[in-house]
């Protein structure tokens, strides 16, 4: 749990970036307004988390999941956010799935490359052994002659 009330605030850099992206170019915002928005956003996140936690507790779970957050949005009467949240969640899941597939493909490619290198190394070792055997035979023949 947070030791100080300030620990519950969202990072100022994140809030500032979100505000700048939301406002048209050339529009400035005062430090006081940015602070007020930051506090309001922090309160909203804490309230949404508390509501979502209630849904998790009703389900006898300790971990919040996406359905808990969506239910909290509905309970908080923010229905208009549900569809964009679902879309963002689906996009996130697709992105994660793509990353996982790319990671698995990269691992398969690495394993295949390592296997090919091992095969090549074994072939070189076999070739070296054959050359040594031939050299030993030639030396034995030279000694016999």
The residues, ordered by sequence, that sit 6+ positions from 132 with a Cβ below 8 Å of its Cβ are none
SS (H, E, C) 87-143: HHHHHHHHHHHHHHHHHHHHHHHHHHHHHHHHHHHHHHHHHHHHHHHHHHHHHHHHH
| Structure token digits, residue 72 | 């909290």
Per-residue pLDDT tens over the stretch 31-84? 999 989 998 999 999 999 999 999 999 999 999 999 999 999 999 999 999 999
Superfamily name with CATH number, domain 1-77: Histone, subunit A (1.10.20.10)
Q: Provide the percentage of residues in the chain whose pLDDT is more than 70.
A: 92
């Amino acid at each position: 749990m947070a030791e100080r009330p300030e620990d519950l605030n969202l990072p100022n850099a994140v809030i500032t970036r979100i505000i700048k992206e939301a406002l048209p170019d050339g529009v400035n915002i005062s430090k006081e307004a940015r602070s007020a928005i930051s506090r309001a956003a922090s309160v909203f996140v804490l309230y949404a988390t508390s509501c979502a936690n209630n849904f998790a507790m009703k389900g006898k779970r300790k971990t919040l999941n996406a359905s808990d957050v969506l239910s909290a949005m509905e309970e908080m009467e923010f229905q208009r956010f549900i569809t964009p949240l679902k879309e963002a969640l689906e996009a996130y899941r697709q992105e994660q799935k793509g990353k996982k597939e790319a990671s698995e493909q990269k691992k398969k490619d690495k394993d295949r490359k390592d296997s090919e290198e091992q095969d090549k190394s074994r072939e070189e070792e076999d070739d070296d052994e054959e050359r040594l055997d031939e050299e030993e035979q030639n030396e034995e023949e030279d000694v016999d002659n």
